[in-house]
Amino acid sequence: MKAFFMDHSNFDVWTNMAIDEWAYNNIETLFFRFYTFSKPSITIGYNQRYNFGIDFDYVVKNGIDITRRITGGRAVIHSGDLTYSFCGNNKIFTGGMGLIERYKKISEIFVKSFRKMGIDASLSGGEKKESFSANCFASTSIFEINLKGEKIVGSAQTFSETNFLQQGSILVKKSLIPQEKIYGKIYTNNIENLTGITYNTKNMSKIFYEVFFNSLNYQWEKLRIDFNDTGFKSLVQKYRDEGWIKKR
């Protein structure tokens, strides 16, 4: 069966979110990609209030790019992280099983990838922390990924009757956006801090691609999106729109 991927890429926050939504709406089998952001940015969860637990005035005054995802979850600072998306037909991926099973299957591949890098990651049992924090990495759900008891991958989904989209952030380096200015608190649960080793996110993505290709037995083909297509441009504009960002 043919499935699709995109090479590691680096775009602004609006283009990155538009690519993921385009794939969610158009891919009938499976698709995944790893990517970074052309400048430090923030995404907030679909159901999250745009100014709850986040210093939105600081974001605006400092020209930080921000948008709302179509997936759930909490705010993510995209600076020093490696982001991924995985989407497609749920029957093809898990035989029609539910959200938790999708999380588990994807997370198991990530754990395998981390261990290939010498990073002793493990699956979370679902312990909760800081329930009222706006930060995605302040709480841990079942089948998320921990290192030394700290959450290092935050993920969220949206889904329809047939398709799903899971987006996630791998916390590799210290953020260039001061966390205390956004959340009022500093978090130190990035992989480099926990291991004492410096990583290159693009090189890490190569290992993730290799393990995902080997773990999912499909005929993988590189996806090409026409960024000049009117429909794609309208998606990018949607994510730039203040009304979308302040939807809640």
Domain of residue 111, CATH code: 3.30.930.10
User: For 40-92, what is each residue's pLDDT tens digit?
Assistant: 999 999 999 998 888 999 999 999 999 999 999 999 999 999 999 999 999 99
Question: Residue 133 pLDDT more than 60?
Answer: no
CA 189 to chain centre: 16
Specify the pTM: 0.93
**In this structure, what token pair is assigned to residue 191?**
């992989």
State the average pLDDT over residues 180-193.
87
Catalytic site positions: 136
Residue 140's domain comprises 2-245
Question: Residue 129 pLDDT more than 70?
Answer: no
| Rounded Cα–Cα distance for residues 31 and 20 (Å) | 9
Distances (CA, A) of 188 to 47, 54, 151, 152, 245: 26, 18, 10, 10, 27
pLDDT score, position 126 = 60
Count of other CB atoms within 10 angstroms of residue 48: 21
For the chain, how many structural domains are there in total? Answer: 1
